[in-house]
Amino acid sequence: MMNSLKEIADTIAKYNQVVICGHIDPDGDCLGSMLALGTALKKQGKKVRLVLERTLPDNLSPLEEDWDYCYTDDFVFEPEDQLLIVLDSGALDRIPELPPHKLPIINIDHHMSNTFFGDYNYVDERAAAAGEIVYLLLEEMGIEIDQKIGYYIAVSIISDTGCFRYSNTNPRILRLMADLLEMGIDTASIYKDFLASHPLRKIRLRGLVYSRMKTAFDGRVAWVVIDQEMLKEAGATVDDTGSISSELRDIKGVEVGVSILEREPGLIQLGLRSNDYVPVNEVAMIFGGGGHLRAAGARVRGDLEEISKKVLQKIGEYLE
């Protein structure tokens, strides 16, 4: 069942001790919206705990010291805990594993695929970021958005819109960000800290990737094989390969960008991004994966070279 924002606000108002969590592998939207809501509720005198599965990934390290986070490996519910708020998570199996509990759950999300797993649900798929909904919720609750809360909202929004580059950018979020700028929030430095601060090893890996990248089908496909050897040479990890297929897609004339990553010997991960007409989710499905029309992926067991050949061949069928 879908609740109104007012029902969500009224429900939260009733409880004094709240546990908040997001999804596993937290991103800037997830953690930013957790911190924004957590800080706001704390300001109201509530006792708030933020739960994570593990220490923060590298790119979120600027938020490391901002909260005394709880981690699932030693997390226990306290008898006084009254409410669990889940942010930015499409389904319960996407959240960190928690001990059994009987707390009511509030589910606040912007994923179209949300399963409405909460006792209370507010899912706004037009929102570009969970932080956008938290902003509206705080307004509804009459909690003033101060500098600190505004900063977390901005982190959340800038992360999930790629600093307004992605097509999820909407008028509401731009106006909201204008208000935050007027409060003195420095969006350019948030962009820098969270989206444009790359570990050296990632740039070294780009050197190898762009040098070894190949094109096929008259330049309509740009593809690269990243094997263990290459990761080792750059001192890079699987985490550093993240956006390679979209980077290749951004080459002029390219319709499909493909990264073929050897995660471990015999386990191949495909990253597929297209621009206009190749439904890469269909290609991914052939290899047991899935995803969106223009962004998809798969994990396959087998021989690196054989799989590469087959992937190129399958993509070629869509280019004819």
Q: Tally Cβ neighbours within 10 Å of residue 64.
A: 10
Q: Which is nearer to a copy of itself, 13 or 174 (CB)?
A: 174
On whether the CB atoms of residues 281 and 290 are closer than 8 A, the answer is: yes
Give the binding-site size for a copy of itself (rule: CB under 8 A). Answer: 47
> Cα separation of 128 and 166, whole Å?
9
Out of 80, 100, 112, 167, the only residue in the binding site for a copy of itself (CB under 8 A) is 167
By CB under 8 A, is residue 147 in contact with a copy of itself? no
Question: With CB under 8 A as the contact rule, which of the stretches 40-48, 63-71, 201-209, 266-274 interacts with a copy of itself?
Answer: 201-209
Out of 163, 231, 268, 283, the only residue in the binding site for a copy of itself (CB under 8 A) is 163
Output the smallest distance, CB 294 to a copy of itself, in A.
Answer: 11
Out of 43, 148, 204, 310, the only residue in the binding site for a copy of itself (CB under 8 A) is 204
By CB under 8 A, is residue 217 in contact with a copy of itself? no
Output the smallest distance, CB 172 to a copy of itself, in A.
Answer: 8
> Cα separation of 172 and 106, whole Å?
24
By CB under 8 A, is residue 164 in contact with a copy of itself? yes
> Cα separation of 91 and 107, whole Å?
9
DSSP letter assigned to residue 25:
S
By CB under 8 A, is residue 197 in contact with a copy of itself? yes
By CB under 8 A, is residue 188 in contact with a copy of itself? yes
Q: Which residue, 308, 209, 318, is CA-closest to 256? A: 318
By CB under 8 A, is residue 181 in contact with a copy of itself? yes
Q: Which is nearer to a copy of itself, 239 or 250 (CB)?
A: 250
Q: Which residue, 247, 319, 251, is CA-closest to 283? A: 319
Q: Which residue, 131, 207, 221, is CA-closest to 168? A: 131
Q: How far apart, in Å, are the Cα atoms of 273 and each of 118, 208, 294, 295, 316?
A: 33, 20, 5, 5, 14
Output the smallest distance, CB 124 to a copy of itself, in A.
Answer: 17
Strands lying side by side in the sheet with 47-52:
70-71, 47-52, 17-21, 83-87, 105-109, 120-123
> Cα separation of 92 and 236, whole Å?
32
Question: With CB under 8 A as the contact rule, which of the stretches 45-53, 79-87, 113-121, 173-181 interacts with a copy of itself?
Answer: 173-181
Out of 125, 126, 166, 242, the only residue in the binding site for a copy of itself (CB under 8 A) is 166
Output the smallest distance, CB 285 to a copy of itself, in A.
Answer: 25
**Tokens 């970021």 found at:** 129
By CB under 8 A, is residue 242 in contact with a copy of itself? no
> Cα separation of 237 and 96, whole Å?
23
On whether the CB atoms of residues 295 and 275 are closer than 8 A, the answer is: no
Stretch 270-309 residues interacting with a copy of itself (CB under 8 A): 275
Question: With CB under 8 A as the contact rule, which of the stretches 93-101, 161-169, 281-289, 306-314 interacts with a copy of itself?
Answer: 161-169
Q: Which is nearer to a copy of itself, 158 or 307 (CB)?
A: 158
By CB under 8 A, is residue 144 in contact with a copy of itself? no
Contact partners, residue 88, CB within 8 Å, separation at least 6? 22, 23, 29, 30, 33, 108, 109, 110, 111, 130
Q: Given the rule CB under 8 A, which residues bind a copy of itself?
A: 163-167, 169-172, 174-175, 177-179, 181-182, 186-189, 191-192, 196-200, 203-204, 206-213, 215, 219, 222, 247-248, 250-253, 275
